[in-house]
Every structure is written in structure tokens, then in C-alpha cells.
Structure 1
């Protein structure tokens, strides 16, 4: 369907003038041979803005509709680790084809930026695990010479830890949904950082 014909400003002004003479929408539509809805929209715009002129706009209209934008922002706030590719696929399902950079610019306007996820802070000093680690921190070399480390295996419990991003607003880095889970086990048996567990088999003489 082609674009609708733009009415002249003179015609719009005449419609508003006759409306001021207490002529109804139906009578005006018959006088100027326009639909009632067109006359109603012209009068509504004049009442709202005080003019019938079409204001100039910068740039072309956005491909992402307002409803789709609100849904995208709501989804990203609920699931911060969702990527621009994910949002691109969801928009494509709605028949909207946009570049990932367009999605990023839209989220930036909502103060949602991709940031590297921070590690969840470790346990407080009053907890047993950290006390145990501190107790062995200054052990002499003779103590560790009695420990035999036979194997080491790295297991990432929460997916790969490199390049994990979350979209968040400023000053929300330490909210639970924006943090990477961390695990810290007993000092002799296992130590886990950022979801990584290092299991050590050991024996002492």
C-alpha cells in the first residue's frame, strides 16, 4: 500500500477555522470531502499542539516498534546475560530485521550496557573456610614438603568463565543476577574460584 496523500496546511487551517464555528466532524467531512477520521485527527492535533503543521523529524523512523522495544528492555532486565543475537532472532520472528548494533543502540538509550560480570565476593572472615585458609597461609616450606600433590582437575560448574557479559545499569554490578557464582572449598581438598573447582588428591607423611 502506498503512502497516504499529505493534505496541505491551508486545507487543514480551513478545517480548524470551520470547526471553531461549531461545525461538527461529520459536516466538515462532507464540506471538504474527507473521511470523518481524517477531520477528527486534524482537530485533535490542533487541540493538542496548537498547530496543524507537520513537525520535521530527524532520521528515519525506527524499525523496532515501541511495544517491541519495551518487551526487549523488560527481557534484558530479567535475563541480563541475553545477547544481541538472541534479541535479533526474537525480532526476526516478529518480522523485524535489524542489525545487532541497532539493538545495542536501543538498549544503550535505556542505560543498559554490556559489562563483564564480576565474581561474587568470597565468604566473610568469620566463616570456617576462610579461617582455615588463613591458618595455612604462613606455613613454612617444611610443612608443604610433607604434602604430595598427585593430580589436578579443573571443572567449571557454571559454564565457561571467560567473556561472560551481562547487560546492566550503572551501580548494579553487585546485584545477584549480575554476578558470577563462586565456590571456595576447604584448603586441603579443593579450592574453587569463579565456579572453577580444582580437586587435589593428597597425602602427608
Structure 2
């Protein structure tokens, strides 16, 4: 009989992502009417992770990792942020020097 490890070092860390090979058995256990606690114990995964996988599967129909939400970073937006940051940090800079920095940093023609 295999027992679950209680050593904290053996459990999944916060920064690690659960592999597809462990997400499948979570859904399989859920479809076999196993409790979240039982699935967590059998696979040695935190209960919150098991619950999150099941919730995601119910809502999206998949357990695959989704791309992050939020505004994508475009070159012009980066240039605008860089321009604003440079101008606010050193108000003594001339427009020519800021334009030169912007050209070298973003590749934008001004």
C-alpha cells in the first residue's frame, strides 16, 4: 500500500505548475465521484489545487493552461511608457535627447 507523503518539501510549490499527467487523474477521480479530499490525498496535491482544476474543467471544459489575461504589450505602448518615465525622471532633458533614447530603445522613428 502506498501512503501519501506529508513532507512539505515533497509537495508542489507555489510557483510550479501542475503537469497535464496529473490534471487528467484529478478529473477522472471527480468523474468517479471521489471527494476532493480523497483525490488530494491519492495524488499528493493540495485540496485547493484539486478544487481549482475541477472548477476550471466545469467552466471551460478543459484543464489546459490558458494565456494570461490583460493588455498585451506592444512596441508603441512600451515606447509611450518609456517616454513618460524618462520625461518625469529628468525634466532637464531636451526633446532631441529623449527622441534619440526612444529611437535606440524601441526602434521608433521620430
More strand by share: 1
More helix by share: 2
Larger Rg: 1
Q: TM-score, structure 1 length as denominator?
A: 0.27
Q: TM-score, structure 2 length as denominator?
A: 0.49
